[in-house]
Every structure is written in C-alpha cells, then in structure tokens.
Amino acid sequence: MRISRKRRPKQQDSGKKFQCNYGIKVPEVLVLDEDGSSLGVMETIKAIKLAEEKEMDLVEINPKASPPVAKIADFGQWQYQQEKVLRIKKAHQKLTKIKGVRLSLRIGQSDLEIRKKHTMDFLDEGHKVKIEVILKGRENQHANLAVDALKNFIAEIEKTQVIRYDQEIERQGRSITATIARV
C-alpha cells in the first residue's frame, strides 16, 4: 500500500457552533417565536419547555447579546439554512491574487507593450500586480535607472486606468519592486 506524505490543507470549520436546548448554559434568554416575533425574556428552562410543547428546539442564535437571543425553531432545518447562507457567501466572494510582471533595463519596446497589456488584463480581472525590475551585474550600481523605468511603466498604465499603490517603489536585494491595484 502506498503512503501519501503530501501535506493537505486542514478542513475549514463551517463557522459558528450553535447551542441547542439543554446545551444553552445561561440562566435567561430573550426568546423569539418561529415567525421571529419576540416572546420576551424568560428563564432558559421555561423557554425549552415552551419549545418542546411546540415540538421544536430552542436554538441560541446570538450568544453575545445581553441577554442572549434564542429562537424556537427546528434545529436541523435552521442549521441547514445557516450553512446555505455560508455557501452562497463563499460562492460570491472574489479572491484577489498577486500577479507578477518582470521588466529589465534592456527590455525592448515591443516586449514592454506586451507586459503592459498583461498588466492591464490582470488589473481588469481585479488582481493586484507586482511589477519587478531585476538588476544583473553592473546594473546594480545604476538602480536609479531601474526606478525611472518602473515609474515610466506605471505612468503608461495610469494613462488608461486609475490605480493605487499597495506597495511603493522600493529596492529588495537585486530587484526593485512595486505593487499596484485598481481603485
């Protein structure tokens, strides 16, 4: 049998853990009916008995409130609805990535245009772009030329799009970098 030694990401927790019925430890709760109307503040035991009379559960929906808020509902159905809301939120969120574009001091004009086009595409997709000028050999002593090249490249992009700096132009070892994003 083959043993897999790959590191796998840990399973994400589905969110909050809600207390139900006798798992609610506070002495008093603000009780809401099935339709959301308030029944007032009651002792937890009385609220549980009321929920059991209606053949439902008492679910703690806001434990941080003073007093905590609990609702009379079917726990399984209520938990399913909460998970459904989380799935919808996750589906609608947009993850931004940092895309990289590398330049050099001796880059040709046509290559510069291609890099500019790629940068514009990345910004249109909503990603951040890390622009990097790598210095090789003797170029290390002329870092000011690399900074000028980077500023000129960013100025060309600013002619067509409004951008903001996430990271200002700075030297990091053999490279000069800046990170930009769309406003």
Would the pLDDT of 119 be above 90? yes
pLDDT band (50, 70, 90) for residue 7? confident
Number of helices followed by number of strands (H, E) in the chain: 4, 8
Buried b (16+ CB within 10 A) or exposed e, 57-91: bbbbbebeeeebbbbbbbbeebbeebeeeeeeeee
Report the mean per-residue pLDDT for the chain. 90
Report the pLDDT value the prediction gives residue 160, as an integer from 0 to 100: 92
Is the domain covering 21-92 a CATH 3.40.30.10 domain? no
Would the pLDDT of 3 be above 80? no
Q: How many C-beta atoms lie closer than 10 Å to residue 178's C-beta?
A: 20
Report the pLDDT value the prediction gives residue 147, as an integer from 0 to 100: 94
Strand runs labelled E in the chain:
28-32, 38-43, 57-62, 69-73, 98-103, 128-134, 163-172, 175-182
Tokens 């002792």 map to which residue? 43
Instruction: Give pLDDT tens digits for 51-73.
Output: 999 999 999 998 888 889 999 99
Contacts of 126 (CB under 8 A, 6+ apart): 94, 96, 182
Mean pLDDT in residue range 152-170: 94
Q: What residues does 87 pair with on adjacent strands?
A: none
Numbered ranges of CATH 3.30.110.10 in the chain: 98-182
Mean pLDDT in residue range 144-155: 94
Give dist(CA 142, CA 162) in Å, integer. 29
Q: 98-182 adopts what CATH topology?
A: Translation Initiation Factor IF3 (3.30.110)
Q: How many C-beta atoms lie closer than 10 Å to residue 50's C-beta?
A: 16
